[in-house]
Amino acid sequence: MGLTPPHLVLLTLLALFSTLPPLCSPESPRGTEESSFPSLSPSSYPMSYANLSDKVSSKNCSAAVNCMTGILLPVWKPLNPGLGDKIGRAVVYFASLMYIFLGVSIIADRFMASIEVITSQEKEVTITMPNGETSVATVRIWNETVSNLTLMALGSSAPEILLSVIEVCGHGFESGELGPGTIVGSAAFNMFVIIGICVWVIPDGESRKIKHLRVFFVTAFWSIFAYIWLYIILSVITPGVVEVWEALVTLLYFPVCVLLAWIADRRLLFYKYMSKRYRPDKRHGIVVEMEGEMTPKGMEGMIMEGKFPPHGGAVGPAENCQEGANNTATAVTTLPNSNSTTIAVENTKELDESRKEVIRILKDLKQKYPDKELDQLVELANYYALLHQQKSRAFYRVQATRMMIGAGNVLKKHAADHAKKTATTGEGEEGVGEDDDSATCSRLAFESAHYQCMENCGVLTLAVVCQGGAGENTFYVDYRTEDGSANAGSDYEYGEGTVVFKPGETRKEIQVGIIDDDIFEEDEHFFVRLLNLRVGDAEGMFESDEAGAAPKGRLVEPLVATVTILDDDHAGIFTFSERLVRISESVGTMEVTVVRNSGARGTVILPYHTEAGSAKGGGEDYEDVRGELEFVNDQTIQTIQVRIIDDEEYEKHENFFIMLDEPRWLKRGISALLLNQEDPDGQMSAEEEEARRIAEMGKPILGEHSRLEVVIEESYEFKSTVDKLIKKTNLALVIGTHSWREQFVEAVTVSAGGDEEDDNGREERSPSCVDYVMHFVTVFWKVLFACVPPTEYWNGWACFIVSISVIGLLTAVIGDLASHFGCTVGLKDSVTAVVFVALGTSLPDTFASKVAATQDQYADACVGNVTGSNAVNVFLGIGIAWSVAAIYWEVQGKQFRVDPGSLAFSVTLFTIFAFICMGVLLFRRRPSIGGELGGARIPRLLTSLLFVSLWLLYILFSSLEAYCHIEGF
């Protein structure tokens, strides 16, 4: 198996430090040393794990490095072992350090999962449209930028931040080198190594750009300014002393950074007067951001007054040149209790984009798997939607950790588990009916609820059916006719009687006489009702009902049959049954019924055609049709078929029309002959005129609804499917846990890792040998941390609090182990922190950023988050620790002293290299390269080599300065 970039980096470091000449003895007897700053009085506090060197105003590089008792771990005695023991101790310390780093990664998995659940909380907002209609949209409570700079950054940087705080508090509020050195070293590793790896892992020919440039510029500025500020307070304002106001200002920079990033993200203050566009620089070809007014003329007043723009009008600017073509509208609404007149509901826009992505995935899967059932396509779509949607830093961190420790691919596990649950639920629901007594209770009803007959039919037959039951009983059911618009005696013959179902009989018929006349009249109807069901025997003896006994038979719908008598003395009135019909776009071929009322005599031809409305014909929304319907004698119903094109839109409301043209009587029948007969002399007899008048009265005509409006709407099933998929694609459901049982089962289960794209599906592979090895190595940590409360409790806050407490405990152990390892091999705390501790705390972020770079379509998840994390490390890690210490010493009437020495030099070196890194990233936005990440092979290789070289130079120069090979501050 080939070496990964982190492995190569580790081997390079070991080779580098094997050649570094030691200037101090590896280990010396423990002793108490005087501080160069009398105000600290270290002898009055317990000795810490720091490798305390002689601190004098001019650096004494030959001072001995002493192993001191740590906060939690005692020093390993004897203090001056032989060479073999030293090697053994170094191996034990290093292995223990790596194992604790592994434990921190696993508990950080739980920590980041809780953060994902917390930041994924949603609420419903009501949006009022211009026409007064309201719609309810589900939006996230947490702003993405705020969550990335607060909880997400805290999750990924918690070990570095807590190490700095614990070191100061555990040293009697003295400054140490391990915490600040780890923060600066981690920042260097993040900025140079992680970004360098992300640049390289992008496939050939692809590139990734930063989407939210405004936010990136804000965080990039603060990520560099934080370290400039660190140098200023260490070496410029009050050299060697950190005053209370300096420490508090450092801490307060954190909310200021978050606030400015949020303002840039929401386009508030001066940002709302600018729009972002891109153009190639004519001199250098660099993609340049332009600020200018992009709101169309006439829209400014409308927006400022809190009104909506016309449908389809652009309101918000595109985030980049690609987005500008696709996202042309932003929903704007006025919300109560808002600090501005109008609010752009960006979450609604994001929801629309998510719907479009889900719809696109469903369409692609239908084409790829045309034979699969809808349920199977939905499961596949769920997996692919989860796979391709934009993910948070928390998800990438959790995914990388779980794949590393043999816990498997979280997306594939989630999809497979969900499919199993669905299958189990489906099997459980099969065969479950609404009623369970069909085997013992018979059901009697009319076979149909509606019957039609011609006026001259003579007798109409209605069917009564008996279904279910044991088939051993005789049923008696009465029937009678009831008037509607038709009257008994003039339109039909009144009838009543009893229908008898003997054992085994399932169908009986009722006959009703129909009376014919020669009068033109409208279609009429009457009713036939079933009533009074009895159970008896063949001799007519009825059984009495027993209290509490299950019924042997019951009447069910339809109990009443409606009989329509169609007049046969007229050629008919042709009409649609209604003026408007709504159909789903997924109907395929719609059938429209044309009804022939008030007569059905003769054969009539009825022309028809379609007309476009907002829906377009020609195969775009429907297929145009034009033709003729032929109604033969006594035929009363015909259908028109129109094919509807299913373009699977989430929301659709378009219409077209079906028109009926004037019907014509075929040249057959007496009436048709009379209407077309003309006397050569133009004279007709009285009898012929009367016959012609009667024939004219019976001529076919169009009825009230000769124009049918067809409204094509989105498919309810499709819309429901998309909505369900949107809810399922909440990543908090994927990486969150619901019970302790679930956590312990996951802890002892081995699952396959691997990339998401492999196997072209969601089926899990069998675990590999590496998966089994990593599982057994980490099973102690996994079982131990399964005791952490599930993320479902308190909306993730219970897991958050317990996890960060455990991370703090393990961080204290890491500080002790790192210090003991450093003094055993003869390394100062500043070197140990910059190299080994920073590397160990940053490796999980390295793997997470690598996955984010390859899977995400933008570079924000890896590049943007690095800058934000580096700034937060200083503002929280240094700000909290030094604020506590400065306030403590101020209360004591003394000063909090910090030796600028190696820290100031490292900060200066990092700042210079960070400016180079930012310049290269901006230069890579040239069209010839395409973005911050990826591009052609040569630019990728050169950029990655440059960034890794900057990190190696940073390590080299920082180490040489620590050992006085070069002069620092």
pLDDT in tens, 120-146: 877 777 767 666 667 666 677 787 778
Q: CA 725, 728, 730, 734 torsion: positive or negative?
A: negative
- Of 339 and 107, which is predicted with more confidence? 107
Give Cα 374 distance to the centre of its chain: 21
The CB density around residue 395, as the number of other CB atoms within 10 Å, is 25
Tell me which of 765 and 191 has the higher pLDDT. 191
**What is the rounded average pLDDT of the residues 702-725?**
74
pLDDT, position 901: 78
Pair of tokens at residue 192:
């140079």
What whole-number distance in Å separates Cα of residue 198 and Cα of residue 192?
10
Residue 919 is predicted with a pLDDT of: 92
Higher-scoring residue by pLDDT: 328, 660? 660
599 backbone φψ class: left, alpha, beta (φ>0; ψ -120 to 50): left
Is 637 a residue whose pLDDT tops 60?
yes
Residue whose tokens read 């909506």 = 308
Say what the pLDDT of residue 179 is. Answer: 84
> What is the percentage of the chain residues whose pLDDT exceeds 90?
15
Find the mean pLDDT for residues 729-738. 70
- Inform me whether the pLDDT recorded for 491 exceeds 60: yes
Band of residue 419 on the pLDDT scale cut at 50, 70, 90: low
Q: Rounded distance, CA 784 to CA 675, Å?
A: 98
Residue whose C-alpha is closest to residue 4's, from 195, 197, 207: 197
Could you give the 3-state DSSP secondary structure of residue 293?
coil
- Cα gap 722→764, rounded to integer Å: 25
Range in 73-82, 279-288, 554-563, 769-778 the model is least confident about? 279-288
The CA-based angle 814-818-821, given to 5 degrees, is 140
CA 659/CA 831 separation, integer angstroms: 86
- The token pair at 179 is 């915490």
| Amino acid of residue 958 | S
pLDDT of residue 956: 92
> Cβ neighbours of residue 378 under 8 Å, at least 6 residues apart?
721, 724, 725
870 by Cβ neighbours in 10 Å (0-12 / 13-18 / 19+) ranks as buried
Inform me whether the pLDDT recorded for 408 exceeds 80: no
- For tokens 């700000």, name the residue: 879
Find out whether 251 and 879 touch, Cβ atoms under 8 Å.
yes
**How confident is residue 568, by pLDDT bands cut at 50, 70 and 90?**
low
d(CA 339, CA 284): 42
Q: If you search the block for the tokens 């600017």, which residue do you land on?
A: 317
Which tokens in the block code for residue 812? Answer: 């204290």
DSSP three-state, residue 421: helix
Which pLDDT score, from 0 to 100, does residue 944 have? Answer: 93
C-alpha triplet 303, 306, 311: angle, nearest 5°: 60
Lowest-confidence region among 77-86, 654-663, 798-807: 77-86
| pLDDT score of 703 | 84
Q: Which helix (H) or strand (E) holds 418?
A: helix 410-429
Q: What is the pLDDT of residue 872?
A: 87
pLDDT of residue 286: 38
What is the C-alpha to C-alpha distance for residues 459 and 845, in angstroms, rounded to an integer?
85
Mean pLDDT along residues 630-650: 81
DSSP code at position 945: H
**Tokens at 309, concatenated:** 């723009």
User: Which amino acid, one-letter code, is at 41?
Assistant: S
HSE of 768 in the Cβ direction (CA atoms, 13 Å)? 8
Find the range with the poorest average confidence among 71-80, 272-281, 642-651, 840-849: 272-281
Quickly list H helices, 767-900: 769-785, 797-825, 829-832, 838-855, 865-872, 879-891
pLDDT reported for residue 351: 53
**Of 35-44, 341-350, 370-379, minimum mean pLDDT range:** 35-44
Q: What is the maximum alpha-carbon separation in the chain?
A: 143
Position 117 scores a pLDDT of 85
Give the mean model confidence (pLDDT) for residues 873-894: 91
Q: What are phi and psi of 527, to 5 degrees?
A: -125, 150
Question: How far is residue 253 from each of residues 176, 519, 878, measured CA to CA in Å?
Answer: 22, 95, 11
d(CA 224, CA 315): 34
Of the pLDDT bands very low, low, confident and very high (cuts 50, 70, 90), residue 954 is very high
What pLDDT is stored for residue 607 in this prediction?
A: 92
Q: Name the band, by pLDDT with cuts 50, 70 and 90, for residue 683.
A: low
More confident residue, 384 or 766: 766
Q: How confident is the model at residue 158, as a pLDDT?
A: 85
pLDDT, tens digit, for every residue of 596-631? 877 777 788 899 999 998 888 888 888 899 998 888
With a cut of 70, say whether residue 686 has pLDDT above it: no
Residue entry with tokens 């101020």: 890
pLDDT at residue 414, rounded to an integer:
61
Residue 352 pLDDT class (50, 70, 90 cuts): low
Average pLDDT over residues 460-465: 92
Residue 293 in this model has a pLDDT that exceeds 70: no
* Dist. CA 521–CA 508, nearest whole Å: 32
State the DSSP string of 459-519: EEEEEEEEEES-S--EEEEEEEEEESSS-BTTTB---EEEEEE-TT--EEEEEEEB---SS
Strand, coil or helix: 882: helix
Q: Give the model's confidence band at 409: pLDDT under 50 very low, under 70 low, under 90 confident, else very high.
A: low
End-to-end CA distance of the chain: 45
Q: What is the DSSP string of 581-612?
A: EEEEGGGSEEEEEEEEES---S-EEEEEEEEE
SS (H, E, C) 73-105: CCCCCCCCCCHHHHHHHHHHHHHHHHHHHHHHH
Q: How confident is the model at residue 780 (pLDDT cuts 50, 70, 90)?
A: very high
What is the crossing angle of helices 178-188 and 797-825, to 10°? 100
| pLDDT (mean) for 234-245 | 90
With 90 as the cut, is the pLDDT of residue 654 above it?
A: no
Structure tokens at 279: 């153009």
Q: How far apart are CA 503 and CA 498, in angstroms?
A: 16
The predicted pLDDT at position 38 comes to: 35
Q: How confident is the model at residue 570 (pLDDT cuts 50, 70, 90)?
A: confident
The runs of H, that is alpha helices, within 608-652 are: none
- For the question of whether the overall pTM of this predicted structure is more than 0.95, the answer is no
46-60, 148-162, 526-540, 643-657, range with the lowest pLDDT: 46-60
- SS3 letters for 133-172? CEEEEEEECCCHHHHHHHHHHHHHHHHHHHHHHHHHHHCC
Rounded mean pLDDT of 248-253?
93
Identity of the highest mean pLDDT range in 39-43, 528-532, 757-761: 528-532
Comparing 421-430, 591-600, 889-898, 932-941, which segment has the lowest mean pLDDT? Answer: 421-430
In percent, how much of the chain has pLDDT > 70?
66
Residue-level pLDDT at 268: 73
pLDDT number for residue 435: 47
The CA distances from residue 181 to 41, 186, 364, 906, in Å, are: 23, 8, 51, 8
- The pLDDT tens digits of the residues spanning 922-949 come to 999 888 888 889 888 898 999 999 999 9
Cα three-residue angle 651-654-660, rounded to 5 degrees? 150
Helix ranges, 189-298 (H): 195-201, 213-235, 244-266
Asked if the model's pLDDT at residue 671 lies above 60, the reply is: no
374: amino acid identity, one letter: L
CA angle, 773 then 777 then 780, to 5°: 140
Torsion angle of C-alpha atoms 403, 362, 649, 657, degrees rounded to 10: -170
Mean pLDDT, range 8-37, rounded to an integer: 40
Q: Which of 67-76, 88-97, 155-164, 317-326 bottoms out in mean pLDDT, i.e. has the lowest?
A: 317-326
To the nearest whole number, what is the mean pLDDT of the chain? Answer: 74
**Can you read off the two tokens belonging to residue 456?**
């001259």
- Tell me, what's the pLDDT at 355? 61
**Mean per-residue pLDDT, 777-788:** 90
Which residues, at least 6 apart from 624, have a Cβ–Cβ distance to it below 8 Å?
609, 610, 617, 618
Q: How far apart are CA 512 and CA 269, in angstroms?
A: 82
Residues in the chain: 969
Do 648 and 359 touch, CB atoms closer than 8 A?
yes
Pair of tokens at residue 839 = 């590397």
pLDDT of residue 159: 86
Give dist(CA 709, CA 167) in Å, integer: 77
Tell me the mean pLDDT in the region 261-275.
69
Rounded to the nearest 5°, which phi and psi values hold at 906?
A: -65, -40
Residue 277 has pLDDT above 70, yes or no: no
* Res. 288 pLDDT band, cuts 50 70 90: very low
pLDDT at 953 over 50: yes
pLDDT of residue 284: 38
What Å distances lie between residue 237 and 211, 241, 899, 907, CA to CA? 38, 9, 14, 16
Which amino acid appears at position 370 of this protein?
P
